[in-house]
Amino acid sequence: MNASGSAVLRRAACAAALTMGAAPASANPSLSSDFGRMTGWLSHELAQGLAFNAGETFDPPRELVSHRIQPDLSIGAGMMPLEKSTFPEPETTQLKDMNAAGIFPSAVLFPNMSMHLRAGLPGRMDVNVRFDNMTTPPGYRISPSTTGKGQSNSIGGGVRRHFFGGPDRPTLTLGGNFNHVYGRFNLHTKFNVNNVAGYSADSDVNGTLVWNVSSLGFNALLSQSFGGWTPFVGAGYNYATGSVSARLEALPTNPNAFGMEKILGISSEHPEQNSARVIGGLGIDKGWAHFFANGEMKAMGEHKMESWIAMIGAALPFEIGPRGFSKKSAPPKPAAEPVLYGDYGLPVEKARPEKKAKPIRPYLSVPASKAANPELIFVH
């Protein structure tokens, strides 16, 4: 074979090698498409749960005296369901065989800690600011095969007005609130496939969730005191905005392999705008402290009667602020007592009750015969 023939064969061999090297990558677009639909499902489901969490206020209907401030602290947990029946059916045989839906749980249980700072206003009104913190504990798992680490915070505030009330009729409390929830969650699992486009059971799958969700809400509560016990029930409406973004990526066993492409899915979803909740709880006054428990369940929208939050807490045993009288209840000032004056126009002390004050006698006149040597005489 001459030199030109050898060159042709070498070019053919190189083309075959390139074709064989690129063949595994042809499966990656389908896997990436599956990952994209998986992240779309995940971000959509979590957006609904986070919007419900953002609308939570945990605001027991206890009235504060005007111009007083009182902090309270509460802890609890909530559940965000994930509808596994709507999980997208994978297009690739490998993901079908590995049961990709098993990477994710059917619900996410999250801890929560909240602090309120309330201030009383005139006219049976009060305002509050709140801070929430959610941090997953070490080694947290969202499923048997998937670990996660997350941090979420919330900041918000509200204003309320109390109506009616007393021993014979319940108190109606109407309020508006705004909360903003933001945070991120990282998850890790294994691909659990064997020799598929350069991926194996040892290949890592990493996911990231990032959210910014806001909620504007209106609540109405009815409460009635029975001794030191105050049960309350009510309902709320919330309007939510914001987004939840999800990223899911599989890392190949040999990332430097020729023709290897990433399996990557990215998606962003918005929460449903309108939802409603039912609220119930109990307040307990012990004189030295005020305890309360509260539960909220989604009553309208996706995952209604499935998403819930439960909290318990306590307020400090004192209220910070002035204790002065209002103008209407201020006691009258005592009238000033008359001042008695004695010799030389100097004031004298008030006579004691058991003694009578001595009368002050007038001065005696001096006879004219002693005018040459005048002398002032006092009679005592």
Distance (Å, whole) CA 273 – CA 162: 28
Asked if pLDDT for residue 171 goes beyond 90, the answer is yes
Average pLDDT for 287-300: 89
Asked if pLDDT for residue 18 goes beyond 70, the answer is no
Distance (Å, whole) CA 42 – CA 280: 30
Sequence-ordered strand ranges (E) for the chain: 69-81, 107-121, 125-135, 141-143, 146-164, 171-190, 204-223, 229-250, 263-269, 274-285, 290-300, 308-315, 340-341, 347-348
Asked if pLDDT for residue 363 goes beyond 60, the answer is no
Report the Cα 358 to chain-centroid distance in Å. Answer: 76
**Six-digit token string for 254:** 């040999």
Average pLDDT for 108-136: 90
pLDDT of residue 369: 53
| DSSP assigned state of 378 | -
Average pLDDT for 359-369: 53
Task: Give whichever of 59-63, 139-143, 173-177 has the largest mean pLDDT.
Answer: 173-177
Asked if pLDDT for residue 230 goes beyond 90, the answer is yes
Report the Cα 64 to chain-centroid distance in Å. Answer: 21
Q: Which domains does the chain have, with CATH numbers?
A: 16-315 (2.40.128)
- The residues, any chain, with a CB within 8 Å of residue 370's CB and separated by 6 or more, are none
Q: Report the mean per-residue pLDDT for the chain.
A: 78
* Single-letter amino acid code for the residue at 360: I
**3 state DSSP class of 92:** coil
Indicate the pTM of the whole model.
0.71
> 308 or 28, which is more confident?
308
Q: How many residues does the chain have?
A: 380
